[in-house]
Amino acid sequence: MSEAKRQGKAVVVGGSIAGICCAHALIAAGWDVVVLEKTPSPPTGCATGAGLGLDPLSQKLIQSWIKKPNLLHLNTLPLTIDQNQAIDGDEKISRTLARDENFNFRAAYWADLHSLVYTALPPNIVCWRHTFLSFSISDDKTHVKVKIKILQTGEIIDTIGDVLIAADGCLSSIRQSFLPDHKLRYSGYCAWRGVLNFSDNENSETILKLKKAFPDIGKCLYFNLGKETHTVFYELLNKRINWIWYVNQPEPQLKGNSVTMKVSDDMIEKMHVGAEKYWLPELAKVIRETKEPFLNVIYDSEPLDQIVWDNVVLIGNAAHPTTPHGLRSTNMSILDAAVLGKSLEKWGVENLNLALQEYQSIRLPVNSEQVLFSRRLGRIKQGLAFPDCKPFDPSIASQEDCEKLQQKNMPYFSDIPSILL
Ligand SMILES: Cc1cc2nc3c(=O)[nH]c(=O)nc-3n(C[C@H](O)[C@H](O)[C@H](O)COP(=O)(O)OP(=O)(O)OC[C@H]3O[C@@H](n4cnc5c(N)ncnc54)[C@H](O)[C@@H]3O)c2cc1C
Ligand SMILES: *[C@@H]1O[C@H](CO)[C@@H](O)[C@H](O)[C@H]1NC(C)=O
Ligand SMILES: CC(=O)N[C@H]1CO[C@H](CO)[C@@H](O)[C@@H]1O
């Protein structure tokens, strides 16, 4: 940054993956950054999140932000195979539908990834217990004033930035203020999720049998397709199995500002019985032994027409709520952050509008197509109807249809935006 240039200041709302990656990308671009996060402290333990997949470019970007790049590999496991198999729940047999051995993702635990990226930030960038309340854009559109509530004291303060970055997730209140009629779209199904920690009993019958039935566990993303339902599971570092089971059902009523539902013991027991019916006993056992499984309601939304309004910009899930089937939610957030950082660096705070327009023109088309592809993949794997084709049935699907299940068909699968080169 040349001496003559004024340093820009960004106010980022949301200290999850998108927000903290954005802080790294903007600091690298020479910006002053503050991240407002309403939760009390950095997420650590069991209750926060589960597994996620990281593609090669996301891995590279994260490595560029953390001080010890090798830590990323030490904190993740390889996912080198993307395998889809049909499960016959009555006969308890599986049959491979499609297998891609050139998959090069890595599996991370959400809280581990967050911690890795967060701890590499300089101190005092993230303000925990700070709730964003509202914003106003100055008349000349050069600044944005942000109202914040400090939860510890109840005090309400203002801060001013050149740009406001909304990284406040799929229920973004900043997006809502521009698009009050924009609604999330219920996918048609919910996801039971959990992480089995088997560090205490590595040689238990459950684990040995799982490894026998699914020999590539430890490097494989296993999709099991049943009749109108599917599961996905893979291993995480430190002896953990991450699993997700998608169940078609009417939209549940959610309470509060969360897409995770409260579950009763009764619901868990029913889920266990269902797992024994639909899946191989080796997987059903893992599901049964998992402590505190939880239920996510799966939403996405119609792609937006714009993600920039004057000097306010959306990134991450705020910009593109998505279903998880493309393993892209985190990928898109990391890419958004990196592209936004490079655009700001290229144009400088003097040309903020051009920078934000460039960010939007790079990210909007890619994200929109990836969200729609992920939606389609989810509907295929759940045996749900489409306007243009029959519901997928794994027991009779053609080889050609099975090929469509693969992650590598994602639009822009290995495109690197030129601004990052
Ligand atoms: C606790 C948690 C666990 C997760 N676990 C997984 C997982 O296991 N696997 C997976 O693939 N994805 C997981 N995700 C989602 C994943 O982080 C996102 O899909 C992706 O990384 C991009 O998210 P994001 O940062 O855009 O939004 P989000 O992750 O939704 O984060 C939004 C952040 O904004 C904060 N926020 C919202 N409103 C305000 C406000 N008014 N003031 C201040 N702060 C505000 C929220 O507290 C939150 O931290 C998890 C998200 C969270 C928050
Ligand atoms: C798994 O369980 C062991 C023993 O109960 C515990 O020490 C460890 O911290 C747990 N691992 C994780 C990652 O939660
Ligand atoms: C492996 C993979 O597909 N990674 C992609 C993540 O998303 C961006 C585009 O949004 C691609 O450039 C990466 O290649």
Give dist(CA 197, CA 107) in Å, integer: 15
Confirm whether 3-49+112-183+304-392 and 72-108+185-300 share one CATH topology.
no
Tally the residues of the chain: 421
Structure tokens at 78: 């390889």
| Residue 48: predicted pLDDT | 61
Q: Ligand 2 centroid to 88 CA: how many Å?
A: 34
Instruction: Give per-residue pLDDT as tens, 360-415.
Output: 999 999 999 999 999 999 999 999 988 877 899 999 999 999 999 999 999 998 88
Closest CA to 29 of 357, 352, 331: 352
Q: What percent of the chain has pLDDT over 90?
A: 88
> Is the Cβ atom of 187 under 6 angstroms away from ligand 1?
no
The position carrying tokens 């924009």 is 182
> Is the Cβ atom of 46 under 6 angstroms away from ligand 2?
yes
Give dist(CA 136, CA 146) in Å, integer: 7
**pLDDT for residue 318 is more than 60:** yes
Q: Taking residues 337-350, what's their average pLDDT?
A: 97
Give dist(CA 411, CA 114) in Å, integer: 27
CB 333 within 8 A of CB 317: yes
Give dist(CA 25, CA 417) in Å, integer: 15
Give dist(CA 152, CA 134) in Å, integer: 19
The topology under which CATH files domain 3-49+112-183+304-392 is: FAD/NAD(P)-binding domain (3.50.50)
**pLDDT for residue 107 is more than 90:** yes
Q: Which of 75, 197, 207 to mutate to test the pocket of ligand 2 (most atoms within 8 A of CB)?
A: 197
Nearest-Å Rg of the Cα atoms of the chain is 22
Q: Ligand 3 centroid to 414 CA: how many Å?
A: 5
| Residue 108: predicted pLDDT | 93
> Is the Cβ atom of 83 under 6 angstroms away from ligand 1?
no
Domain ranges of the chain: 3-49+112-183+304-392, 72-108+185-300
Q: Which pLDDT band, with edges at 50, 70 and 90, does 50 fall under?
A: confident
The topology under which CATH files domain 72-108+185-300 is: D-Amino Acid Oxidase; Chain A, domain 2 (3.30.9)
Mean of the per-residue pLDDT values for the chain?
Answer: 94
Q: Taking residues 134-162, what's their average pLDDT?
A: 97
| Residue 43: predicted pLDDT | 84
**pLDDT for residue 1 is more than 70:** no
Instruction: Give per-residue pLDDT as tens, 262-286.
Output: 899 999 999 999 999 999 999 999 9
- Write out the E strands in 46-100: 51-54, 77-79, 81-88, 93-100
